[in-house]
Amino acid sequence: MLALILAAQLAGPPATIDQMAWLKGCWTLTKPNGGVVEELWMAPSGGVMLGLGRTVRDSKLREYEYTRIVEADGSLAYIAEPSGQEKATFPLKNLSADEAVFENPTHDFPQRVIYRRLGPDAATGRIEGEINGQAKAIDFPYKRCATGN
């Protein structure tokens, strides 16, 4: 009985991958230092959305990340593999029509990954948590890529 109670507490809210369809497509952000951050998300299919991100500055790749949002146990999970590091899984904590919050309190940083839809051509990615007991958050105010990119 205790195992069932614990499993219920760890499971995220009911959700399907189709509820994240608004994130599909290409998103871009130009930073003040001239760097460009891009995220590309494939449409939901087969219970998963595949994503790819890269940061380019001074014509050089600075960071990259392979990501997935997957259906898991009747909910969703965000899985990230940044710049060759070990993968990290963030189960869904909250989901609304315009926001998805994924959380893994045991991960070093970030502990939360958040996507917010601001309109058809604007979204914010946000990572947040603590580093050495200090709260930290980084926002990625994305615009949809121009067609043809």
Band of pLDDT at residue 84, cut at 50, 70 and 90: confident
Q: What is the pLDDT of residue 9?
A: 45
Mean pLDDT calculated for residue range 64-78: 96
**pLDDT above 70: residue 1:** no
Mean pLDDT calculated for residue range 54-65: 96
Domains along the sequence of the chain with CATH:
13-144 (2.40.128.20)
> pLDDT digits over 6-58, tens only?
344 456 899 999 999 999 999 999 999 999 999 999 999 999 999 999 999 99
Task: List C-alpha distances in Å: 50 to 80, 104, 115, 120, 143.
Answer: 10, 20, 15, 20, 19
Which of 110, 100, 96, 99 shows the shortest CA–CA distance to 70?
100
| Average pLDDT for the chain | 91
> pLDDT digits over 126-142, tens only?
999 999 999 999 999 99
Band of pLDDT at residue 3, cut at 50, 70 and 90: very low
Residue 118 parent element (H or E): strand 112-119
